[in-house]
């Protein structure tokens, strides 16, 4: 068995801005695992917030044994982008070798389309209102916030999209005081939930202050080992394959989190349809789905995911799984 990794860049339709910075392209790593003339593929998006880079993740992947199994992979690499791409490529390889779709292989019901959020970049209130109005036909909008001046942005987005459901992602940008000040206004404006209002590792106050709307752990939740520290602070967990280190751990995290009473959100980094494909499997039955990466791109994979009014559809066999 051989493992190869290649760098690729996909242009974004427009600049994507969060509280930590902006980007104009999605830089991804594509992993191919080949055995017996069959090749499985996977994608990851290294994330600087977690100490990852294209170089460091490439080195992790290139350091693996060519004959590694999925079970061995869970111990060989930590949760993160490198393990994700290889794990998903191994799943794709296994499905192709078995002549089965991935959901049949893991004995899950055939996926159905899931309504996904569409993300609005952080910007000035007027620009965010215009963006919200442009996408007001979408049932679920996600707002990137995380500054001390977010109240005007919240109001502007609601004016632009009066009928859409709204979720807010603060990207660790608020203090407990800012969150407490904004929370009742988010309730008033009909916000469904807020993601990661405070920095991971500095979020203990969430267990002591009122949470009038659901709070979702993103940067604070990577895999099952994260769950004990979330107790009493969060109501929901955001499962991203680049955090869990692949489909294997994502499915296990989903089961354990549900058993412990957390609602499930399934999210993504800004990547191509190949990165979203296995996440669609995890997203089945989730309370919130945020798999809009391909909708933000100006270019995508040759066999992209299908998006329509019913949501994001499961991948074709030509794409993955």
231-249 burial string, b = 16+ CB within 10 Å, else e? Answer: eebbbbbbbbbbbbbbbbb
As annotated, the active-site residues are: 144, 240
């Amino acid at each position: 068995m051989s493992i190869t990794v290649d760098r690729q860049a996909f242009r974004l339709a427009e600049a994507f801005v969060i509280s930590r910075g902006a980007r104009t392209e999605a830089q991804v790593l594509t992993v191919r695992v080949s055995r017996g003339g069959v090749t499985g593929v996977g994608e990851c998006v290294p994330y600087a917030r977690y100490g990852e880079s294209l170089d460091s993740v490439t080195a992790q992947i290139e350091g693996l044994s060519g004959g590694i199994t999925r079970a061995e992979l869970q111990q060989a690499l930590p949760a993160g982008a490198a393990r994700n791409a290889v794990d998903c490529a191994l799943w794709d390889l296994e499905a192709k070798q078995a002549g089965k779709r991935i959901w049949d292989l893991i004995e899950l019901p055939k996926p159905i389309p899931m309504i996904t959020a569409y993300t609005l970049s952080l910007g000035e209130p007027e620009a965010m209102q215009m963006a919200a109005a442009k996408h007001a036909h979408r049932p679920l909008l996600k707002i990137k916030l995380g500054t001390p001046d977010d109240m005007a942005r919240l109001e502007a987005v609601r004016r632009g999209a009066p009928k859409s459901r709204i979720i807010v992602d603060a990207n660790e940008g608020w203090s407990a005081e800012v969150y407490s000040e904004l929370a009742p206004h988010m309730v008033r404006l009909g916000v469904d939930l807020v993601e990661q209002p405070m920095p991971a590792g500095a979020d203990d106050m969430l267990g002591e202050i009122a949470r009038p709307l659901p709070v979702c752990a993103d940067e604070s939740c990577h895999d099952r080992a994260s769950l004990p520290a979330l107790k009493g602070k969060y109501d929901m967990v955001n499962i991203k394959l680049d955090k869990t280190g692949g489909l294997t751990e994502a499915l296990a995290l989903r089961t354990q989190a549900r058993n412990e009473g957390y609602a499930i959100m399934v999210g993504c980094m800004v990547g191509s349809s190949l990165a979203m494909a296995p996440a669609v499997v995890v997203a089945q039955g989730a309370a919130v789905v945020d798999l809009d990466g391909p909708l933000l791109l100006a270019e995508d994979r040759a066999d992209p995911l299908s998006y329509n009014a019913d949501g994001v559809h499961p991948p074709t066999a030509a794409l993955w799984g």
